[in-house]
Amino acid sequence: MLQRAIALITLASLILLSLMLVLTTPASAGPFGLLLLFISAYLTFLGLISFFLYGVSRMIRYATAGFTLKKPIQPISFRRAYYYSTILAAAPVMLIGLQSVGSVGLYELILVALFEVVGCVYITKRIY
């Protein structure tokens, strides 16, 4: 059920994002339009990263199925991939926002990466 909901939200936000990028300019969209643009970009990245993490974990599981290991590698559930993607999807949106107010340098990239690491560690501690 969660997979279907995320897929529908991702598709709807991707369509909205595409329409906004084609039909409007930042000056004509106004503040609400820019907010809608950032929200739809976040939701698009959220869905894409969720399905990417889920798919990669399953591919790794199938690729290592023939090996004998003490503890077999288990693929992560879609819910866990969704939890991680809520943090990971914020990075591109933050970088786009930083680029819109100034240049993105090494310092800003380190801060965004630090935010991502802290967020992923927090999620790991909360779900285990």
User: What is the spatial distance between Cα 116 and Cα 128, in angstroms, rounded to a whole number?
Assistant: 18
User: What token pair was written down for 45?
Assistant: 């990245």
For the stretch 86-111, pLDDT in tens is 999 999 999 998 998 888 999 999 99
Domain extent, residue 78, equals 2-127
* pTM for the model: 0.88
Give residue 67's pLDDT.
Answer: 76
What distance in Å separates the CA atoms of residue 34 and residue 37, rounded to the nearest whole number? 5
Asked whether 73 and 60 are in contact (CB, 8 A), the reply is yes
pLDDT one-digit tens code per residue, 35-75: 999 999 999 999 999 999 999 999 988 888 777 777 777 88
Closest Cα partner for 79 from 53, 116, 61? 53
The Cα–Cα gap between 9 and 81 comes to 16
Q: How many domains does the chain have?
A: 1
